[in-house]
Chains A and B, each alone.
Chain A
């Protein structure tokens, strides 16, 4: 199905895209509100929560250049030592910028 790129057609497509996106934002909560949450479900979602981030970050490290990789290493190192996100992120960005500069 195609929409003509008239102003109305584009606006309608944008609204449809927005609704599809909201569906993903609300869908997980909708399902969970209908699933009885026992200890097994809880273990699953607790392990899954961090795993989402791991699965997002891993390709950045694998596909990225050495600047991106060293940025992640610097963030991890500072985070483990200081436990404060802002210095850790700053260290990561500076590492990437300096790595690419030299």
Chain B
């Protein structure tokens, strides 16, 4: 019924994407719980904490801006830090664009609402356009749901797991993203751009403002890829 090149996203694709992301999503509960606890300690109400997790859905930015929520909320730092930490989404969206090109504009931008590191990385690993969209949206729903469940648990039960490091849980996201990266690899020619990305990210961490390293590293890798001699077929 659904040929490979068909970009129509069906319920089956959504369910399949949801299922593929479900195992990792369970770990997101822990991060959500930690955020719920931290937000309450910062003086946010339970409702405000849930609203933030639900609407913003960007853990790193939510944690990083927590200290701003006091008697008054300084909007400029709030927006600046949020943009800086989430700027990697710009590049992730750009890289995913070929799979959104055929969609009507409304559905194209709706598909991006739940874009985040994990579902994007998995969607980039391959499959038909519809399967990738299923992972982006269905996987996004899985991650959003568990992020909300975790935040809710944190709000309701307070301090549950205060030190995820001791369980190795802080390593989950790194291991997951690394697994997605290696799974995506087709040949050794990627090692040059990736090496450049790693070096540029390290240099940016040493000499540039916080949170600049992801953008700098990604752009450096992209430029090196651009300068390499093109391979025989245009589409890799």
Name A residues whose Cβ lies closer than 8 Å to a Cβ of B.
1-5, 7, 9-11, 13-18, 20-29, 31-33, 37, 39-40, 42-62, 64, 67-68, 71-72, 74-76, 79-80, 83, 85-86, 88-89, 92-97, 100
Mark interface residues in B89-100 (1 if CB within 8 Å of A CB, else 0): 111111111101
A47 and B78 within 8 A (CB): no
B214 and A56 within 8 A (CB): yes
C-alpha gap A96/B201 in the complex (Å)? 24
* A46 and chain B: residue at smallest CB distance: B236
Prevailing SS type, chain A contact patch: helix
Q: Please classify how large the interface on chain B is, using the bins under 10, 10 to 19, 20 to 34, 35 or more.
A: 35 or more
Any chain A CB within 8 A of the CB of B217?
Answer: yes
Residue in B23, B73, B100, B213 whose beta carbon sits within 8 Å of that of A9 in the complex: B73
The interface-forming segment of B1-9, B10-18, B147-155, B190-198 is B190-198
**Which residues of B47-76 are within 8 A (CB) of A?**
48, 51-52, 55-58, 61, 65, 69-76
**Which residues of B173-200 are within 8 A (CB) of A?**
174-185, 190, 193-194, 196-198, 200
Query: Which A residues lie within 8 Å of B222 (CB)?
Result: 44-45, 47-48, 51
Query: Which B residues lie within 8 Å of A43 (CB)?
Result: 225-226, 228, 230
A20 and B79 within 8 A (CB): yes
**Which residues of B191-234 are within 8 A (CB) of A?**
193-194, 196-198, 200-202, 205, 213-226, 228, 230, 234
B75 and A42 within 8 A (CB): no
